[in-house]
Amino acid sequence: MRSSVPALKPTPAVHAKRRSKKLMERLELAAVYVILSITALAFILPFLWLLSGSLKSSSELFANPPIWIPSKPQWSNFTTAFGEFPFLLYLRNTLTIAGFGIVGAVLSNTLIAYGFSRVEWKGRDGVFVLVLATMMLPFQVTMIPLFIMFQKLGWIGTFLPLIVPVFFGNPFFIFLLRQFLIGIPKELSQSAKVDGASEFRIYWQMILPLSLPVVTTVMIFSFIGSWGDFIGPLVFLSDNKLYTLSLGIQQIMSVNDPRWPLLMAIGISMTVPILIIFFVLQKYFIQGIAFSGIKG
């Protein structure tokens, strides 16, 4: 039986309160979009200036006030730069170092992070804190001891000083992976152990496939680090044929004429692959960062 009591209609004051609340929500949302747009613009402006400069002549590049859109795009800057710059050779060297770096980063850091997160052993947390403490040591501090050690091994002038250390772990990658692996239920490992699976089999066939987002994040960071590394190749590489892109780009610079349009053209060529990789893998990258950050 339906109630005969009539429904109460909202009063004008209630309507006004609701409209005010919706207006505030829209204003807050608009403020968020404005702040994000300004921040995005601040990040994208340097890239736009680099793109614009790569298509300018030297006179337009240094014009005052600045010219954003070149009157006549100088596409010849790219052909001239690649004609004087062994881009393919340096690209091959860079991809070789980056490729081995990705393999080493995934194999070593996932295994170490698994030991810090899924395996119980005495002193584990203390050793993990010690590993994190090494993040405070910049490369400049260890550069000379490493150079002396690699020189005695006969590795100076080869790719080995840039590849081999990657297979011994990176404290930041270990931390990132450990935070993700902690969130995976331990019941999965316990069930696998009951079925007779070894610790390594659990890591390789169960935990590693579940860690695809954070592993992808590590791969992206590793590739970016190798792609843009300048100090490492500068210290350990002596043969011009082994130079990477970041080191070889100096060859088209001179004291009297730096030839900035050509440098910007090569800079665009070095930036575009990073952007493509990020946009293709951004789903996994964001998941890896988010899931690693919310697990303790």
**What does the pLDDT look like over 94-113, one tens digit per residue?**
999 999 999 999 999 999 99
Instruction: Please state the φ and ψ torsions of residue 83, each to the nearest 5 degrees.
Output: -75, -35
Tell which phi-psi region holds residue 195, choosing left (phi > 0), alpha (psi between -120 and 50) or beta. alpha
pLDDT surpassing 60 at residue 1: no
pLDDT (average), residues 151-166: 94
Say if CB 108 and CB 215 are below 8 A apart. Answer: no
Average confidence (pLDDT) over 204-226: 89
Phi, psi dihedrals of residue 292, rounded to the nearest 5°: -70, -30
The residue among 191 and 288 whose pLDDT is bigger is 191
Higher pLDDT, 157 or 71: 157
The Cα–Cα gap between 269 and 277 comes to 13
> Cα separation of 296 and 275, whole Å?
31
d(CA 131, CA 225): 20
Mean per-residue pLDDT, 114-118: 91
pLDDT 10s digits, 219-239: 989 998 999 898 999 999 988
Instruction: List the single range of 2-6, 7-11, 133-137 with lowest mean pLDDT.
Output: 2-6
Which of 33-37, 43-47, 182-186, 194-198 holds the top average pLDDT? 33-37
pLDDT, residue 257, reads: 64
DSSP the chain: ----SPPPPPPHHHHHHHHHHHHHHHHHHHHHHHHHHHHHHHHHHHHHHHHHHHTS-HHHHT-SS--SS-SS--THHHHHHHHHS-HHHHHHHHHHHHHHHHHHHHHHHHHHHHHHHT---TTHHHHHHHHHHGGGS-HHHHHHHHHHHHHHHT-TTSSHHHHGGGGG--HHHHHHHHHHHHTS-HHHHHHHHHTT--HHHHIIIIIHHHTHHHHHHHHHHHHHHHHH--HHHHHH---GGG--HHHHGGGG--SS---HHHHHHHHHHHHHHHHHHHHHHHHHHHHHHHHHHH--
Distance CA 217, CA 281 (A): 9
CA–CA separation, 88 vs 217, rounded Å? 27
Spatial CB neighbours of 237, under 8 Å, sequence gap ≥ 6: 157, 159, 162, 243, 244, 247
* Tokens of residue 247, six digits: 């080191």
Residue 220 burial (C-beta neighbours within 10 Å; 0-12, 13-18, 19+) = buried
8 A C-beta contact, residue 171 and residue 245: no
What pLDDT, on the 0 to 100 scale, is given for residue 102? 94
> What does pLDDT average to over the chain?
85
* pTM, to two decimals: 0.80
> What's the full length of the chain, in residues?
296
Report how far residue 63's alpha carbon sits from residue 213's, in angstroms, rounded to the nearest whole number. Answer: 46
Other CB atoms closer than 10 Å to residue 66's CB: what's the count? Answer: 11
